[in-house]
Amino acid sequence: MRALRFAWRSLVRQPARAFLGVLGVAAVGALLFDMLMLSDGLIVSMRDMLERTGFDIRITASGDLRRMGDRMHHTDATLATIRQLPHVGTVLAVRFVAAEAAPPEDTIATNAPEPGMVALTLEGVQGDARPWTVLSGRDPAGDREVVVSRALADAVRVTTGSELVVRARCTSPDQVLPPARLHVVGIAEFPFELVGDPTAGGAMAVLDTACAGRSDESDIILASALAEVDATAAAIRAARPDVNVATNEQVIGRLQRNGFTYFRQISSVLTVVTLAFALLLITVLLTVSVNQRLGEIAALRALGFSRRRVVADVLCESVLIVGLGGLVSLPLGAVLARGLDAILKTMPGIPGQMYFFVLEPSTLGLHATLLAVTAIAAALYPMQIVARLPIAATLRNEVLS
Amino acid sequence: MAAVVILVALLGTTHPAAAQPAGDLPAVLVSRQAAEALSLSVGSVVQVAPPDGAAARDFRVAGIYEPTPDPSRLGNAIYAVRLHLPDVLALTSPPDAPKGAESVDAINIRLAPGVDALAFSRDVNARLPGLAARPTTDAGAAAGPFRVLERFHLAIAIVTIIASTVFLVALTVMLVDERRETVGVLRLIGLPTSRVLVQVLIEGALVAGAGSVFGLALSLVSEGLINRFFQWRYDTALLFVHVTPSVALTCVLIAIPLGVSATVIASWLLLRRNALRLARR
């Protein structure tokens, strides 16, 4: 405790130097904090999103993420087969169709496939539940009623009771179909709505209306399990071996292996770089500081301070710089994470409710541990200088100089 | 037809005892990853089929190629074969499809030197309604994720530069303070403040220049190491780090003024003090 107080006095004696040291550690610590949040942020965020939808099992044609893989045919028969299985709760088939809608004339859309048009996704559902949460209005019914996301409502300036005129592109991006006039019956939150790709959702019949023809296809079938999820998934797999069945955990595992590896890698690289940077610079700061005070330290030793005590002073100084910098780095890192998240969220194909930087209790613990290790490692060399300091020779040099 | 397309198709196992002599079979190129996964070599016979598995045909492996690195497929092994366009059409067109009804996804055109790609694409768009022609340099949508990553890296770089600047100023303040007495003596023997500042400026420029050279050397060494590691990790020929002359120049243009400014500012704070106070122990 005395050593800590003594180290504090050493720091406040040189306020500018101490302030800059703490500020530097805070900046590096903020970057480190963000990289730790980034390393598993997408996975944690995705797991949270998957769990919030209330479905445990995802069935697709090829196992790819939505819109990247093939469509499943014979949706009616597949739904009937899955419903008959024991321990299957709600089942929901979803089909996505690219479409475009005309905004009011005074609006210019930036994501328009054609001048003046807003690109959107029409989401058709068939089954026992709805994948969206109605915020205002009511759930759609029939073949012309839809709910729209807040983003779509803002982009084309529609609200509950408005008419939404869309042109769907059901079979190819160049398909030209007659416009479909849909009625907006509510505003809803779509958990997997992509940034820059607003969504309208309704019954599967709405898609048939927009596509001018009935189609028994779906992109994904979601199912909830009433009993053990893996066993239920295995039962579905056995009943329909031609489709790909994955539990939420398997989807997460697949993303961990392939989908989000880039961010984990860059996070690991930058974590190592920031720690090495912090270590190097704190070592230099402490070493220069100790070298400037060699005479003073030798005098303290001559007065009776033990070797252990002066070494502890240096360690405490390092702990104080890194500790204070680490504390400041937390709010700084949170602000920085918001900025970086906003940049990354502009990436196409990212759901709006997904976050790259997610704070977990373990992140705070790891951040503190890494900084503590850095503080100790950075103090090793200056501690060695102090421990091996020849008292008489140093005092003599001090007097002669 | 000399056009070659890529078809991500089902590759069957090799069967050397094919009914047709291997030399007469149509040729395909197989991606390195697919060749490794299926233990194929030049001369092997493979079955290639559309994704539905129907109408599989035998092909002779004429070569193994390294796929063009594609950042959007990072982490996914590229299992692909390259076929001549007529072979692809024969595989994918329905048997009863009328002649001339085949379709292709895209046509790549190499223009003669000096031809304006934008003007050419405008001309094609005007002459052939229903087709969309655009210069390859205008692949804005495909480059979207990488532009976002570029902005992300830039933001990280800015934070790193801010952190470095703070540490640099802290170090220079300490180093200048260490030479307080020397500066005081120089002032006492008659050197004006401007003369001492010029000396500090030159010294700062030399140190910043040496630091920049060392940093560039370090980045060139780490460039190779990082690329090798990630190319091994993702089984790709993609370049992850590339120190271009413009990147190197940008770094030097940031580092040297930053180093010099930090030194001069720290020295100026010291030189403002009275010479006697500086020289006093």
DSSP A103: P
Per-residue pLDDT of B139-156, as tens digits, reads 555 556 777 788 888 888
pLDDT cut 90: percent of chain A above it: 17
Residues A136 and A80 in one domain: yes
pLDDT of residue A65: 58
| Residue A238: inside a domain | yes
Residues A112 and A11 in one domain: no
Q: Which of A113, A110, A218, A126 is nearest to A169 (CA)?
A: A113
Residues A45 and A66 in one domain: no
Residues A66 and A148 in one domain: yes
| Residue A251: inside a domain | no
Helix, strand, or coil (residue A385): helix
Pick from B130, B152, B177: CB nearest A343:
B152
Residues A214 and A295 in one domain: no
The yes-or-no verdict on residue A90 having pLDDT over 50 is yes
Boundary (domain end) residue, out of A186, A210, A242: A242
DSSP A271: H
Residues A191 and A76 in one domain: yes
Average pLDDT, chain B: 79
The yes-or-no verdict on residue A273 having pLDDT over 80 is yes
Per-residue pLDDT of B167-210, as tens digits, reads 788 778 777 777 777 888 888 888 888 888 888 888 888 888 99
Q: What are the extents of the domains in chain B? A: 4-105, 110-138, 141-279
List residues of A whose CB lies inside 8 A of any B CB. 16-17, 20-21, 23-24, 27-28, 30-31, 70, 174, 257-259, 261-262, 265, 269-270, 277, 281, 284-285, 288-289, 291-292, 336, 339-340, 343-344, 346-349
Cβ within 8 Å, pair B75-A339? no
How many CB atoms within 10 Å of residue A45?
Answer: 18
Kindly list the residues from chain A whose CB atom is less than 8 angstroms away from the CB atom of residue B76. 258
Strands B81-84 and B27-31: antiparallel
| Residue A208: inside a domain | yes
**Ranges assigned E (strand) in A24-132:** 57-60, 88-101, 118-127
Q: How far is CA A76 from CA A39, A215, A232, A281, in A?
A: 41, 10, 20, 65
Residues A39 and A81 in one domain: no
CA B44 to chain A, closest CA, distance in angstroms equals 28
Boundary (domain end) residue, out of A210, A242, A274: A242
| Residue A172: inside a domain | yes
| SS3 assignment for chain B | CCCEEEECCEECCCCCCCCCCHHHCCEEEEEHHHHHHHCCCCCCEEEEECCCCCCCEEEEEEEEECCCCCHHHCCCCCCCEEEEHHHHHHHHCCCCCCCCCCCCCCCCCCCCCCCCHHHHHHHHHHHCCCCCCCCHHHCHHHHHHHHHHHHHHHHHHHHHHHHHHHHHHHHHHHHHHHCHHHHHHHHHCCCCHHHHHHHHHHHHHHHHHHHHHHHHHHHHHHHHHHHHHHHHHHCCCCCCCCCCHHHHHHHHHHHHHHHHHHHHHHHHHHHCCCHHHHHCC
| Residue A55: inside a domain | no
Query: Tokens in use for A335?
Result: 């602000």
Beta bridge partners of A122: A97, A200
Residues A31 and A84 in one domain: no
Complex ipTM: 0.71
The mean per-residue pLDDT over the stretch B111-121 comes to 89
CA pair distance A33, A366, nearest whole angstrom: 9
Helix, strand, or coil (residue A135): strand
CA B85 to chain A, closest CA, distance in angstroms equals 21
pLDDT tier, A185 (very low <50, low <70, confident <90, very high otherwise): very high
The mean per-residue pLDDT over the stretch A76-93 comes to 89
Q: Which of residues 160-179 of B touch A (CB under 8 A)?
A: 160, 162-164, 166-167, 169-171, 173-175, 177-178
B76: closest chain A residue by CA: A258
Per-residue pLDDT of A193-207, as tens digits, reads 887 788 999 999 898
CA B38 to chain A, closest CA, distance in angstroms equals 21
Boundary (domain end) residue, out of A181, A210, A242: A242
Q: Is A47 exposed, middle or buried (0-12, 13-18, 19+ CB in 10 A)?
A: middle
**pTM, full prediction:** 0.71
Residues A108 and A41 in one domain: no
C-beta separation of A203 from A95 below 8 A: no
The yes-or-no verdict on residue A66 having pLDDT over 70 is no
Residues A276 and A303 in one domain: yes
Substitution target in A10, A11, A17, A20 with the highest count of B β-carbons within 10 Å is A20
pLDDT of residue A107: 46
Structural domain containing residue A195: 62-242
pLDDT of residue B19: 53
Residues A37 and A142 in one domain: no
Per-residue pLDDT of A329-375, as tens digits, reads 999 999 999 998 888 888 777 787 888 888 888 999 999 999 999 88
Cβ within 8 Å, pair A261-B155? no
Query: Tokens in use for A369?
Result: 């541990």
A265: closest chain B residue by CA: B230
Residue A137 φ/ψ region, left for φ over 0, alpha for ψ in the -120 to 50 degree band, beta for the rest: left
| Residue A56: inside a domain | no
How many structural domains does chain A have? Answer: 2
Cβ within 8 Å, pair B178-A269? no
| Residue A289: inside a domain | yes
Average pLDDT, chain A: 84
Q: Which helix (H) or strand (E) holds A149?
A: strand A145-149
Q: Residue A116 carries which side chain, given as an amino acid letter?
A: G
Substitution target in A19, A62, A262, A282 with the highest count of B β-carbons within 10 Å is A262
Q: Which of A389, A379, A217, A308 is nearest to A2 (CA)?
A: A308
Residues A178 and A321 in one domain: no
CA pair distance B68, B237, nearest whole angstrom: 8
| Residue A35: inside a domain | yes
How many CB atoms within 10 Å of residue A330?
Answer: 16
